[in-house]
Amino acid sequence: MVNKKRIETVCVQGGYTPGNGEPRQIPIIQSTTFKYDTSEDMGKLFDLEASGYFYTRLQNPTNDMVAKKLCELEGGTAAMLTSSGQAANFYSIFNIANCGDHVISSSAIYGGTFNLFQVTMKKMGIDFTFISPDSTEEEIHAAFRPNTKAVFGETIANPACSVLDIELFAKVAHEHGVPFIIDNTFATPVNCRPIEWGADIVTHSTTKYLDGHGVSVGGAIIDAGRFDWKAHADKFPGLTTPDDSYHGIVYADKFGKEGAFITKATAQLMRDFGSIQSPQNAFYINLGIESLHVRMKRHCENAQKVAEFLSKSDKIEWVRYCGLPEDKYYELGKKYLPNGSCGVLSFSVKGGRKEAEKFMKNLKVAAIETHVADARTCCLHPANATHRQMTDAQLEAAGIPPTLIRYSCGIENAEDLIEDIAQALEQI
């Protein structure tokens, strides 16, 4: 049943099929609450005995239509939207790891996620071990502890542009009886579907390519529906023992492998933390997804051309883009991203921070922004912006050289982007 249609068709039509005389576009259900005839009806919803809507902090029909489309796109069994990518990654871990638990994460991850794990979740008593995205099988095994509850990584890391060996990370996670969670923001389901390579939970910052036009912050979690929580019941008591806040239901029993994870994240985490997507923003995300397959193709074509130009320039120290045959991740890219990776690349101009800053100031088509993966080309100098507080030595340790420029190719004309870069390089 799932994914009968090809990905392009799901981008346009997935998640919502109107009946006779119903709206063609998904309706925005701009309502905080929902009306019932009897208190008994309402009571069943509160006991999770019946499914339905009662309060938009937990669930909203517009959000669920968009979540259903993302679920179809990623090939999962259940999905939910969140107010941001940060909330999605937080929920994905906190749904199965508690105070006293441990999680293994690739060190090549988005800076915001690193802060969430290393600073904020650490305060909650969850310990993270960061390992290289290039870790060998033995190195991943060695990071496990008896209290490890999950392994986390990014398909294509922001801003390091490394490509993760998804099959390997998933395999080792499964050998230790824990799920592999992957943030698929940069690749999008158009270019990679991690569930097909063994991932259990997929997360997104929908703020990036899924929205694609820089209009709404959002996130999503999709469950592959394959992880057998009951087979590892001692590790995941939250899913396999009674929840007192819902009259003792056991999520893994009542909702099965297919539904337990997302139902628990909705019923507990969304109820208590309230990081709900607004239905209006969910509508914008859906509009973006309708053209995702068309845009990703152009993002990738532009990035390939820009990367090739940069790799030949004598003013450039290095370029990272897995579409370049000389790139360290070219082979992994060919395996996991055969149709293209994404529009984001990173590079360094010869010289130091001064040259990097001067180069960026000279750009006229690309704008300096704390944003990425947008229809409009933008760029950022992490050492001078998002990672400004770090010393050069700390930056190197985090895999972000002080001169790294993150350049996110939009869907403009590639020749205009290249001419813009060329004139900016001329001036340094």
Ligand X SMILES: *Cc1c(COP(=O)(O)O)cnc(C)c1O
CB of 205 to ligand X, least distance (A): 3
Q: Residue with structure tokens 């008593």? A: 125
| Residue among 264 and 406 whose Cβ is closer to ligand X | 406
CB of 292 to ligand X, least distance (A): 16
Residue whose beta carbon is closest to ligand X: 85
| Residue among 208 and 264 whose Cβ is closer to ligand X | 208
| Residue among 238 and 410 whose Cβ is closer to ligand X | 410
CB of 406 to ligand X, least distance (A): 10
Whole-angstrom distance, CA of residue 162 vs CA of residue 144: 23
Cis amide bond preceding 338, omega within 30: no
CB of 106 to ligand X, least distance (A): 11
Sign, CA torsion 148/153/158/159: positive
Provide the CB-side half-sphere exposure for 295 (13 A, CA): 27
Contact 73, 10 (CB under 8 A): yes
| Residue among 161 and 332 whose Cβ is closer to ligand X | 161
| Residue among 89 and 148 whose Cβ is closer to ligand X | 89
Q: Residue with structure tokens 């390992």? A: 131
CB of 87 to ligand X, least distance (A): 7
Q: Residue with structure tokens 């350049």? A: 407
290: exposed, middle or buried (C-beta count within 10 Å: 0-12, 13-18, 19+)? middle
Whole-angstrom distance, CA of residue 88 vs CA of residue 74: 15
| Residue among 25 and 280 whose Cβ is closer to ligand X | 280
Closest C-alpha among 293, 285, 279, 276 to residue 216? 285
Provide the CB-side half-sphere exposure for 72 (13 A, CA): 22
Judged by DSSP in three states, 186 sits in: coil
CB of 219 to ligand X, least distance (A): 5
| Residue among 140 and 210 whose Cβ is closer to ligand X | 210
358: exposed, middle or buried (C-beta count within 10 Å: 0-12, 13-18, 19+)? middle
Q: How many CB atoms lie under 10 A from the CB of residue 379?
A: 23
Whole-angstrom distance, CA of residue 372 vs CA of residue 199: 25
Contact 52, 17 (CB under 8 A): no
Q: In the beta sheet, which residues pair with residue 320?
A: 346
| Residue among 188 and 240 whose Cβ is closer to ligand X | 188
| Residue among 113 and 266 whose Cβ is closer to ligand X | 113
Specify the DSSP class assigned to residue 156.
B
Gyration radius of the chain over CA positions: 22
CB of 214 to ligand X, least distance (A): 12
| Residue among 83 and 304 whose Cβ is closer to ligand X | 83
CB of 152 to ligand X, least distance (A): 11
Contact 328, 180 (CB under 8 A): no
Q: Which residues bind ligand X (CB under 6 A)?
A: 84-86, 89, 110, 112-113, 154, 158, 183, 185-186, 205, 207-208, 217, 219
Closest C-alpha among 220, 222, 234 to residue 258? 222
CB of 84 to ligand X, least distance (A): 3
CB of 399 to ligand X, least distance (A): 14
